[in-house]
Amino acid sequence: MPNETPIVITGFMGTGKSTVAPLVAQRLNRPFIDLDALIEQQTGRTIADMFTEEGEAAFRRAEQAALRHVLNTPNIVVATGGGALLAPSARRFATQRAIVIELRARPETILARLGADTGRPLLDGDQWHMRVQDLYRERCAAYARLPYHVETDDRTPHEIADAVIALLASASPAPPPEVRRVPVQSPTGAYTILIGDDATADMRTALPDIERVQRVAIITDEHVAPLHAAAVRAEWLAGKIPADVYTIPAGEQAKTLDTVATLYERLLHDGHDRHTLIVTLGGGVVGDLGGFVAATYMRGVPFVQVPTSLLAMVDASVGGKVGVDHAGAKNIVGAFKQPALVVADTAFLATLPPREIRNGLAEVVKHALIADPELLEWLEAGEWAWPALVERAVRVKVNIVEQDPFEHGVRAWLNLGHTFGHALETVSGFELAHGEAVAVGLVLAARLAARLGMASEALEPRLVRLLKRLGLPTAYPADPEAVWEAMQFDKKKRGKRLRFILPRDVGQVEIVSDVPREMVLEVLRGA
């Protein structure tokens, strides 16, 4: 570590920041600054008074300004409050200017250390211990993205300081992350897709017409909210823009007009108007539903897609198709609404369960089959970096939607595997995830193409090998007649004719109609 590099000690409340940081400073013979104490000195008010009188947003702005000021001073040791580095831009600034170390502890340790300390601004009321646990869950994902960590359980302050100093011997500031930018042209205007770790740090600066945004409504779900909502909200607060979080139930079952109506009511109740920006934070369900709300609330307000799943990053968040399910039919009510910005923060992928990663990889395979043979070879080799893989898959979709923004022609190629896949999802009662259904649909599409004499019979086994290697299903035990009936609700139908998107080869697909019913049933039976 360079001698003059600032050191930042951060972490959740009760982890020992204010005790350990001055010990580290003393051992290293460096000046020590407690960021909260500095803010109180500069403003002449306590932190609790700032929260009470002006709210959290005002305090976070003061906190960000103080942090940026002190980190221009070399050779210091700084202890921050637990929320100081929640905003991605603050986290990026600090990790590039300083050695940032998180002190961490188990929840039970934190509760024991805090005791009944309810004098903290975010611990109001009798249920303070529940609030501690909620805050802990909300902040864990942001803390995990910091570069260095020291466990404090069962250690004295001096032992923790020893561990920090030992870590400093090999630590260094983080290099700036590469954020890739993919431009998209549409009839309603251009927008940009940001791709990379901590890309949410660029969200505000990359948004066009940011000066017109007076409020933000973040729509997310009950799975994503505890992981990422606090950090995304903190980023807007850092930009002096009030932000509200609206959480919906997770899963396809919530993607209904009833959920949309509930969101309308909550937005109206909270005073959101045409100067509101909607941010959809989640997977494909949240993006589709939140985008539909943006398309229809007040006759349309701007929105930003912040996909948190791989599937949403490479597919659902790009192209402007938004909507909800109705009467058992997937995406049957919808609109075209282009986002003002898409932010694919690939660091979010670290919080996904393996099944969700596999679901996204099915769409990457689909994009490779449509237009990128080299991408398929990457997948078969099993070696890739997430930002590069996401960018490559996204560019396939962007190239197609720019040619056909309203799905009058080649955009239908993006439904490769989906005629079978959507029907399988429906028949399974949505127990089969979208990516899993698409994986099976890709195999069935290759089988049907071979049966029609369009494709080599070698394509299906090649796909089966790859999908199995990625942990995806290649078959599903559904009644062929039930799948056929579910296909009749497919939006790609022309009149009474089903349309299939079928591969001729890797990088070459075709739209096919008038496939005999018996042939489809034979393909579904695996005959």
Residues noted as catalytic: 299, 321, 363, 397, 407, 411, 415, 418, 422, 434
Residue of 445, 222, 440, 430 whose CA lies nearest to 330: 430
- The residues facing 319 across adjacent strands are none
Rounded to a whole number of angstroms, the CA Rg of the chain reads 26
- Three-state SS for 286-302 is HHHHHHHHHHHHHHCCC
Number of H helices, E strands in the chain: 21, 16
Tokens matching residue 343: 């932010």
d(CA 111, CA 452): 66
List, in sequence order, every beta strand (DSSP E) within 69-147: 77-79, 99-104
d(CA 413, CA 409): 8
d(CA 434, CA 316): 11
List, in sequence order, every beta strand (DSSP E) within 341-445: 341-345
Residue bearing tokens 């017409």: 209
DSSP 413: G
Residue of 11, 10, 9 whose CA lies nearest to 30: 9
Distance set, CA 448 to CA 286, 315, 367, 459, 519 (Å): 33, 24, 19, 11, 8
CA angle 430, 307, 368 (to 5 degrees): 75
Residue of 439, 525, 434 whose CA lies nearest to 483: 525
- The residues facing 199 across adjacent strands are none
List, in sequence order, every beta strand (DSSP E) within 479-525: 499-505, 508-513
Specify whether the CB–CB gap between 111 and 48 falls below 8 A: no
d(CA 303, CA 213): 10
d(CA 229, CA 244): 10
Specify whether the CB–CB gap between 282 and 289 falls below 8 A: no
Residue 345, Cβ density class (10 Å: 0-12 exposed, 13-18 middle, ≥19 buried): buried
The DSSP bridge pattern shows strands 508-513 and 499-505 to be: antiparallel
